[in-house]
Amino acid sequence: MYNCRFIEAKILMKIWLLTHSEELKKTSGTGRLVKETLGKECEIIVWSRVAPDEAILNLSPSDTLLIYLCENEEQKAVSDSQISKNNTIIIDGTWQQARKIYNQSPYLQKFKHHEIQGVKSVYNKRRNQKNIGLCTAEVAIHILTEYKHPAAAELSNKFTKFNQ
């Protein structure tokens, strides 16, 4: 009986990786580590400017959080203590690709935004284009840790090995 409750509690959170198509071709991408670790709790959605994915379009703004820079007050930034959302969208790509995805996807504006601050990346497979930038796995580890998700440590270990 306890196992059933644990499983039910565990699948309350889902991470959606809104991924640039070029990211899937790179061996240095960490989105696949997130998917491998979370299984059904993670969906990789290949971003399309002209044909947005229905699953993303159908997510409720009331229980979905977008991890992205908060550039203005209207984006309704939330703090770490408010992270517990059922759905978390992480834009998976370089900073230029992420900016393009965000700017060309007006439907993303409806979600509350969360900007991870005060965390420095240790990712060394690619040169980071911004000092504040984290790779996809680091973002997922941060969110899973804040959510107290049991897979946080596993993903952290996989990322550490991958990053060596």
Strands 42-46 and 14-19: parallel
Is the Cβ–Cβ distance between 142 and 133 less than 8 Å?
Answer: no
| 45: pLDDT strictly greater than 90 | yes
Secondary structure (3-state) at 132: coil
Cβ neighbours for 76, distance < 8 A, ≥ 6 positions apart:
112, 113
Tokens (6 digits) for 103:
């700017």
Tokens (6 digits) for 9:
């509690």
Predicted confidence band of residue 116 (pLDDT cuts 50, 70, 90): confident
Find which of 37-51, 59-73, 101-115 is predicted with most confidence, using mean pLDDT.
37-51
**How far is 106 from 132, CA to CA, in rounded Å?**
24
Q: Summarize pLDDT for 4-33 with one digit per residue, the tens.
A: 333 333 446 899 999 999 999 999 999 999
Averaged pLDDT for residues 133-154 = 93
116 closest CA partner among 96, 136, 98: 136
Q: How far is CA 9 from CA 86, 96, 128, 156, in A?
A: 11, 36, 35, 21
Q: Which comes out higher in pLDDT, residue 116 or 151?
A: 151
**How far is 70 from 115, CA to CA, in rounded Å?**
6
Q: Domain boundaries in the chain?
A: 2-163
Predicted confidence band of residue 57 (pLDDT cuts 50, 70, 90): very high
Start-to-end CA span in the chain (Å):
40
Q: How far is CA 76 from CA 64, 116, 133, in A?
A: 12, 14, 20
Q: Summarize pLDDT for 68-104 with one digit per residue, the tens.
A: 876 655 545 555 555 557 999 999 998 889 999 999 9
**How far is 5 from 106, CA to CA, in rounded Å?**
37
